[in-house]
């Protein structure tokens, strides 16, 4: 058995009387792309939030690389190597594209806090080069890297955010519906980008609605319904699993 990156054990979370997560167990293996699917309100985002420190589970444990991360703050978890792409693009709209990508690179290099004002950002050549290279992956080159991020299209913003996460070379990347609300060709561009990432062997968790996306990138799929994992397996296993078809896919032909 290969190395476990993330281990979620017996996680429960209730809001008021609502059981959002019910004894969730999940193991994410090194180098795998793990998709979590499920209908709206199944608890996918709650699960993700429990992993990155936004929510604290009522019971259960979440360990990352063998270290308990419950109660840790968002920046600490990031520094440990778990990085998240949000559902609504969270970028720095007032900064240039280049700066958007440089910032996470600084976080990776300098840690959660550093105060050095005597080297200008413009002379951080290594980081500028790397950021420029990453932006080139998005077909953003030349003077376009100096444009304000806020003026981009929604799809571009989300891909920018993905790049911002990738430049940190995370141990584990969490993707929250990376293609939600995108037009077809936009989705395809994102899938291409993700395939590129897959080649690099990065561990990922993807929450996704779009089955097309899920089946084209995932190694393992877990199905979440009403706060509980009802099935886990390879895409082929899930595709053929009658419980899943019954409970979630509603008998739709996949």
Partner 1 sequence: MNFTKTRSDLTVMLIFSIAVLTMPIWLAPIGAGYPDLLQKFAIFGIFAIGYNILFGLTGYLSFGHAAFLGIGSYTAVWSFKLLTMNVLPAIFFAVLMAGLFAALIGFVSLRRSGIYFSILTLAFAQMSYNLAYSVLTPITNGETGLQLTLQDARIFDGPAGEGLPSTELFGISMSGYSGFYFCAVVLIIAFFLSLKIFRSPFGMKLQAIKSNQTRMKYTGFNTRPYLMTAFIISGMYAGLAGGLMAVTDPLAGAERMQWTASGEVVLMTILGGVGTLFGPLLGVGIIKYFENIFSAVNEAALHNFFSFLPGFLENLMVTIITPFVGEGWHLTLGVLFMVIVIFLPGGIMEGLDRIKKRYKTEGASEQTGDKE
- Residue 78 interacts with partner 1 (CB under 8 A): yes or no: yes
What is the smallest separation between the CB atom of 150 and partner 1, expressed in angstroms?
A: 8
First-to-last C-alpha distance (Å) of the chain: 30
Residue 156 structure tokens? 């571009």
Q: Which residue has the tokens 């978890």?
A: 77
What torsion do the CA atoms of 83, 85, 86, 87 make, to the nearest 10 degrees? Answer: -150
Q: Please state the separation of Cα 134 from the chain's center in Å.
A: 17
Give all strands of the β-sheet with 18-29 in edge-to-edge order.
Answer: 18-29, 4-15, 59-64, 67-68
Which window, 8-16, 121-129, 206-214, 238-246, contacts partner 1 (CB under 8 A)? 121-129
What is the smallest separation between the CB atom of 147 and partner 1, expressed in angstroms?
A: 10
Buried/exposed code over 221-232 (b: 16+ C-beta within 10 A; e: otherwise): bbbbbebbbbbb
- Residue 96 interacts with partner 1 (CB under 8 A): yes or no: yes
Please pick, from the candidates 116, 185, 199, 252, the single residue that binds partner 1 as defined by CB under 8 A: 116
Please pick, from the candidates 2, 40, 122, 200, the single residue that binds partner 1 as defined by CB under 8 A: 122
**Secondary structure percentages of the chain, helix, strand, coil, to 5:** 40, 25, 35
What is the smallest separation between the CB atom of 132 and partner 1, expressed in angstroms?
A: 11
Site for partner 1 in 52-71 (CB under 8 A): 52
Please pick, from the candidates 16, 120, 251, 253, the single residue that binds partner 1 as defined by CB under 8 A: 120
Chain positions contacting partner 1, by CB under 8 A = 52, 73-75, 78-79, 83-84, 86, 90-96, 98-99, 102-104, 106-108, 110-122, 124, 128, 143, 146, 164, 168
């Amino acid at each position: 058995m290969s190395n476990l990156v993330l281990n979620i054990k017996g996680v429960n979370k209730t809001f008021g009387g609502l059981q959002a997560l019910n004894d969730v167990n999940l193991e994410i293996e090194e180098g795998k792309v793990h998709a979590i699917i499920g209908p709206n309100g199944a608890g996918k985002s709650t699960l993700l939030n429990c992993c990155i420190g936004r929510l604290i589970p009522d019971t259960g444990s979440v360990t990352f690389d063998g270290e308990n991360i419950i109660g840790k703050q968002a920046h600490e978890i990031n520094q440990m190597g778990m990085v998240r792409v949000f559902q609504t693009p969270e970028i720095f709209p007032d900064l240039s594209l280049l700066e958007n990508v440089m910032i996470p690179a600084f976080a990776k290099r300098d840690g959660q806090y550093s105060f050095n004002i005597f080297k200008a950002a413009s002379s951080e050549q290594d980081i500028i080069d790397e950021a420029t290279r990453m932006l080139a992956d998005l077909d953003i080159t030349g003077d376009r890297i100096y444009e304000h991020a806020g003026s981009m299209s929604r799809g571009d913003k989300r891909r920018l955010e993905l790049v911002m996460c990738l430049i940190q070379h995370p141990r584990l990347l969490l993707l929250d519906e990376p293609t939600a609300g995108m037009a077809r060709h936009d989705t395809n561009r994102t899938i291409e980008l993700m395939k590129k990432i897959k080649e690099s062997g990065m561990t990922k968790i993807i929450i996704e609605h779009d089955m097309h996306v899920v089946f084209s990138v995932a190694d393992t799929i877990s199905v979440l319904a009403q706060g509980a994992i009802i099935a886990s397996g390879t895409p082929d296993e899930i595709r053929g699993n009658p419980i899943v078809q019954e409970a979630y896919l509603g008998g739709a032909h996949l």
